[in-house]
Structure 1
Amino acid sequence: MDDKILIPISFFLMIFGIVYLIYSTRNRERLALIEKGVDASIFFNTNQKNVPAWKVFVINTAFLLIGIGVGLFIALFLTTYTKMNPDVVYPATIITMSGIGLLVGFNKAKDLDK
């Protein structure tokens, strides 16, 4: 068996294991609560207003792309006007600004609930 095929197989097995663990644990928790006589309506919170998932996805994606663009601009600025190594500056600034963009997107998505 080729070694390159083991990586995708192990990746999908890992994803399957995580999903299975989440659903089986959730099921066991719910069964334990139902056995204790707790009303099943606690699983379905109807008085909470929910923001559609696509809006949160669009906001987070937009801020991620903005962060990548700003990271590229700052990296270009740093490599042009300083003697920093471009092999280090580009990934560092792109990853940092992407993280900041995701943080801002998370905070904006939280504000959608209000």
Structure 2
Amino acid sequence: MAEEILIPLAFFASVFGILYVYFTARNRERMSMIEKGVDPSIFTSKKNYSNMTLKFGMLLVGISLGILVGSLIDEYTTLPEEVGYFSMIFLFGGLALIVNSILEEKKTKS
């Protein structure tokens, strides 16, 4: 009976522990940098989320194309179902990330 509750408790305790260690280490690092006279403006980074959004969107499109082509392979060939789906998902997801990196490279050059 106690096993059912231990797994979720262990999961949330692990997540809390990881986040706690991450934020306390980051705070200690920042405090030591401030004590050494480093400019604190480096902590507020202006991230460009448009590239990340494009990458995530292209990855999802690639995965959906992989699922579509995987279902076609499953329907019209004698390959096992898992082979068609997994190979096409990874193939099209990887192709989407490659195309995204090419687009980002072109954007930074211009």
Q: For residues 14 and 64 of structure 2, what CA distance do their matches in structure 1 show?
A: 32
Structure ranking higher on relative contact order (CA contacts 8 Å, 6+ apart): 1
In the alignment, the residues of structure 2 paired with residue 7 and residue 80 of structure 1 have an alpha-carbon distance, to the nearest angstrom, of: 39
Identify if the C-alpha distance between structure 1 residues 12 and 56 changes in structure 2 by more than 3 Å, giving closer, same or farther. Answer: farther
> What's the counterpart of residue 35 of structure 1?
35
Bigger helix fraction: 2
Q: Deviations over 1:44-100 (max 9, x none)?
A: 35xxx542x4x4564344223312221122212322332111144224433443454
CA contact (8 A) 2:58 2:100 kept: no
Moved over 4 A (4+): 55-58, 108-111
How many matched pairs? 107
What RMSD over aligned residues (CA atoms) do the two structures have, in Å?
3.1
* TM-score when normalising by structure 1: 0.65
In structure 2, the residue matched to 1:107 is: 101
Q: How does 1:42-53 map to 2 (within 5 A)?
A: 42-45=42-45, 50-51=47-48, 53=49
- Look up the equivalent residue of 2:34 and give its one-letter code: I
**In the alignment, structure 1 residue 83 sits paired with structure 2 residue 86:** no
